[in-house]
Structure 1
Amino acid sequence: MSYPLPEFSRKQVQKAGDTLVAAGGQDGYKINMDEWSHAFVVLTNWRACHGYPINTFQATLRKKLSKIDSEALVAQRLKRTPSIINKLTRLKGMNLARMQDIGGLRAVVSTLPQLHALFSEYKSTRLTHTLLAEYDYVGFPKPSGYRSIHLVYKYKARTESPYDGLQLELQLRTKLQHAWATAVETMGTFLEHSLKSSEGPDEWLDFFSLVSSAFAHVEQMPLVPGYEHMSRSETFLKTSREAIRLGVIDKLKRYSTAVRAIPTTGSTRGAYYLVELQLTGEDTNVTITSFARDKLEEANSKYSLAEQRASANPSVPMQVVLVSAGSIDSLKRAYPNYFLDTHEFLKQLDQITSAKAVS
């Protein structure tokens, strides 16, 4: 398989990030299209290069999971350009060349003990790569309600490699934690706010923090900050009342049924999938284009073009992402937010809001 090589220095990558942020700023800064286009080319190459270390880590991850949870979901993705620019804008001092999660790899296991076992496996295994940081948001949930374990690595091959030094983020989470994150992204899509970045209406941000604390009760793990004083029954009761007040169940069910069909081009199974989620009123559709393992360069090119189309027509909301998750069925389970599929979240919420759970 052919992977793109880094074509630009770290200094050029950092400058490209600064240019893209300035272009979207509100301070009246003017930028010509040549500068913007070059910055986009640099970003596209830099992002695509992360595919190589991700693939290496994926092989290790699957080997570990074979002993822990053979039914676990494994998926990889390259961070979307709008998400990259939003993060550069939101976090002052953030440098594109040092961004930790441009390349992302995710494992979703069935149970909490399996999550702890997988975490321990990584902690006890000696790798050539450098573990830069670890964040246990399961033991220490974010105020937003986000719960997952993140491991940030700097890639280092056994022999000298042009990919040495690239960073990637490994996310480990349970199905319940994954269901919550999916619902947050899906609702954020339709509210047109990045709820996962704690941006948007307070009532929705508060609701998802509350639900996450209810899920933490289910998993018997530390509660979300701000809800530690509430008992299990109090948390479940308040969750039920807020879900009814906001019409959460009806809204998420309506969003899920909005995707009437999923047209695909290419084969039904590929190594990579370009997913385009288009939101135009009642006509909401997902288009998937699959690419064989030896077509990564073409996939990255199509990804870049799709993002340019999306940014050129902001009146038609669209989300574009290039991911790898095995079959289309696995893709839908690993990235349900791109299919507006929140049935697992709704199932868990129904259990919490049922009379039996609340009593």
Structure 2
Amino acid sequence: MLKRKRQSNTQLVVAGRQVDIADQIQDFLELRQLYNAAMRKVKTKVEILDEEFQVRYNHNPIHHIECRLKTPQSIIEKLNRKGYELSLESIRKNIMDIAGIRVICNYIDDIYTIADLLLKQDDVALVRKRDYIANPKENGYRSLHLVVVTPVFLSDRKEHVPVEVQIRTIAMDCWASLEHNLIYKSSRPLPDNIKEQLKECADAVNAIDMKIRDIYRQLWQL
């Protein structure tokens, strides 16, 4: 009979609190593997859509795809920040973005095409949708955020696992990456005038995105 491996004692310190997860470490590793499987599954789905569009329409809607799993420390910090219980059950119930993929598209129209086709698939269920393109955040951030659930088949059971999917254009991603980098490098909160300048940059990037979209539509109709 196969036996599950047990790891040595491990403790994490989060916001001054010592969290003993020694007796749950194997369960956590299995949980993380589950989310990784769901993430890879959703990534494959959008890759297949991109390949189909290349073959059928000579157009790749997707420029590239990025994937990430939250680290154990990041998960615990989020639970602590939100005031949730530090347990595996709480992780599964409250953290919807453990697994995440970012789909970078060429054009705005591609964003909604990929999202619509993904959500039409039988084994993908929409949990949450936030359209920050139609309704940008106050700082100018634009992206389409989806949380979907998809089944993962294991040796002894089937689990429905959430995956966060962020879909944005190359231009949107460029602004978001630079804005994040500037905030990360700053040792103090950004002054209002800097925030306003970043917002102006976001609006300028959006204007370019919209113009490129219009040009793309004109060429597509030729």
Structure-2-length-normalised TM-score: 0.70
Alignment of 1:1-359 (within 5 A): 23-25=13-15, 31=18, 35-38=20-23, 43-66=28-51, 67=53, 69=60, 72-93=63-84, 95-98=90-93, 99-123=95-119, 125-157=120-152, 162=157, 164-191=159-186, 200-203=189-192, 204-220=194-210
Shift in Å at residue 132 of structure 1? 0.8
| Distance in structure 1 (CA, Å) of the matches to 2:158 and 2:180 | 31
More strand by share: 2
| Distance in structure 2 (CA, Å) of the matches to 1:40 and 1:53 | 20
Consecutive unaligned residues in structure 2, runs of 5 or more: 54-58, 212-222
Are the counterparts in 2 of residues 53 and 163 from structure 1 also a CA contact under 8 Å?
no
Deviations 1:131-167 (A, max 9, x none): 1111111111111322111111122258996451221
Q: Give percent identity, aligned residues only.
A: 18
Consecutive unaligned residues in structure 1, runs of 5 or more: 8-18, 194-199, 222-359
What value does the CA root-mean-square deviation take over the aligned residues?
A: 3.4
Structure-1-length-normalised TM-score: 0.46
SS of residue in 2 equivalent to 1:118: helix
Q: Describe the shift of the 1:126–1:45 C-alpha distance in structure 2 as closer, same or farther (beyond 3 A).
A: closer
Deviations 1:174-228 (A, max 9, x none): 00111011112322332257xxxxxx3344544433322232233349xxxxxxx
Q: Describe the shift of the 1:209–1:39 C-alpha distance in structure 2 as closer, same or farther (beyond 3 A).
A: farther
| Distance in structure 2 (CA, Å) of the matches to 1:70 and 1:142 | 25
| Distance in structure 1 (CA, Å) of the matches to 2:159 and 2:148 | 11
| Distance in structure 2 (CA, Å) of the matches to 1:161 and 1:130 | 22
| Distance in structure 1 (CA, Å) of the matches to 2:28 and 2:139 | 29
Aligned length, in residue pairs: 192
| Distance in structure 2 (CA, Å) of the matches to 1:131 and 1:62 | 19
| Distance in structure 1 (CA, Å) of the matches to 2:154 and 2:124 | 12
Are the counterparts in 1 of residues 61 and 110 from structure 2 also a CA contact under 8 Å?
no
Shift in Å at residue 104 of structure 1? 0.8
